[in-house]
Every structure is written in C-alpha cells, then in structure tokens.
Amino acid sequence: MKRSLGARTLLYPTPVLVIGTWDTAGKPNLMAAAWGGICCSQPPCVAVAVRRNRHTYAGLIEHGAFTVSVTSEALAAEADFTGTVSGAEVDKFAAAGLTPVESEIVDAPWPDEFPMVLECTLRHTVEIGVHTQFVGEIMDIKVEESLLDEKGVPDLERLQPIFYDPGRGGYWTTGRWLADAYSLGRRFSDNSDQPAGRSR
C-alpha cells in the first residue's frame, strides 16, 4: 500500500555536484547542488539548478560557463561546506583548503582536490520557479588517472562517489556493483517478440 507524501522534491539518488564559477568580481566560487543531472547525449549536456539569490548566479551568467565537480566520499565535508555559506562573504576555496584551477577551455575554475570535473559552456537558461536551470554543454571531462579502469573510464570502487538524500537530508555512499545494463532485463524479452538491445 502506497502513502501519499504530497507535492515535494524527493528522488533517489540525487547527485552531490559542486558548481565552480568566477563571481562578478573575478573571485573563484563553489556551490553544492543536488538538483541537476545529464540532460542530453549529443551535444553532451548537464543541467544544474541555481536559485537567483545565490552568489553563483550572476557570475555564472556573466562568464557563460561553469564546472561541475563530482564529490567522492573523501571530499564530502568540503562539498557540504560549499552548500552552507555564501560566496558573497566567504572565500570557500580558501576556507576549505581547496586549490582553484583555471580551466583552459571554459571561463570557470574547479577545485583541484576533487577527483573529476566537467567543464561546461552555458547553452540554455530555463526559468522554472525559484530555481533557474542552467544547461551547460560538456566541453571536456577530466578525471584523476589513478581512478580510471583499464578501459579509461572511472572505476567507482576507487572514485567512491556519494549521493544526496533529500528526505533525510544527508549523504550515502556507493554500494556494490549490481549488473550490466541492457542485459539484466533480457529474461523478460522471452515474453515479447522483440529481441533485447538498446531501445528506441
């Protein structure tokens, strides 16, 4: 039996994205965001939602760019901190002991200590409600070499990404590898006339 919880923002998982921008004074800034995700395969794009009263907002628009860093378990406290103080009053890089790296391909910085970063050029700005959604084209992704597997993609047992729980208000770790996609559900294809494969 399902219970109605009303109109609210619960979803599992939501990511712990750390948005890097230059502010309007040219100072590097960071902001944690759980409202976001990939939104297009070609061109590769990621969306992040930012409230208009956030310090990140004006700088992101002025520079037309942002970075998105993925949070590992070891950097959970740093990411959390960037969501609890305002860049208008605090240099979050300095306070959290993080090193700003200037992207060579988009006009935004990222924290060197974070294991993985998406460098994004702003493509769409969508006014939804209290949040504005910024859609960025992913121009490059950079990942610590030691976290890559033999195929050159991140090994999540090493990257150890965390996710955000908007109901309880906290963070969970990555568990165990479950299964390959596009094959796990193959047994149900026996009940249909169409062989399994990527769907249309």
Contacts of 52 (CB under 8 A, 6+ apart): 130, 132
Beta carbon nearer to a copy of itself, 24 or 142? 142
Q: Dihedral of CA 41/111/22/57: which sign? A: positive
Q: Which residues, numbered 63-122, are part of the site for a copy of itself (CB under 8 A)? A: 68, 70, 73, 76-86, 88-92, 94-97, 116-118
Q: Which residues, numbered 176-195, are part of the site for a copy of itself (CB under 8 A)? A: 176-189, 191-194
Closest by CA to 48, choosing from 67, 27, 22, 64, is: 67
Q: Which residues, numbered 10-39, are part of the site for a copy of itself (CB under 8 A)? A: 10-15, 17, 31, 34-39
Output DSSP code: residue 103.
-
Beta carbon nearer to a copy of itself, 80 or 107? 80
Beta carbon nearer to a copy of itself, 25 or 168? 168
Beta carbon nearer to a copy of itself, 61 or 142? 142
Q: Which residues, numbered 150-179, are part of the site for a copy of itself (CB under 8 A)? A: 151-154, 156, 159, 161-179
Q: Least distance from C-beta 135 to a copy of itself, angstroms?
A: 6
Q: Which residues, numbered 113-142, are part of the site for a copy of itself (CB under 8 A)? A: 116-118, 123-124, 126, 128-131, 133, 135, 137-142
Which two three-digit tokens encode residue 199? 């769907």
Across-strand partners of 116? 70, 143
Q: Least distance from C-beta 106 to a copy of itself, angstroms?
A: 11
Alpha-carbon distance 121 to 137, whole Å?
5
On whether the CB atoms of residues 10 and 61 are closer than 8 A, the answer is no
Alpha-carbon distance 186 to 12, whole Å?
24
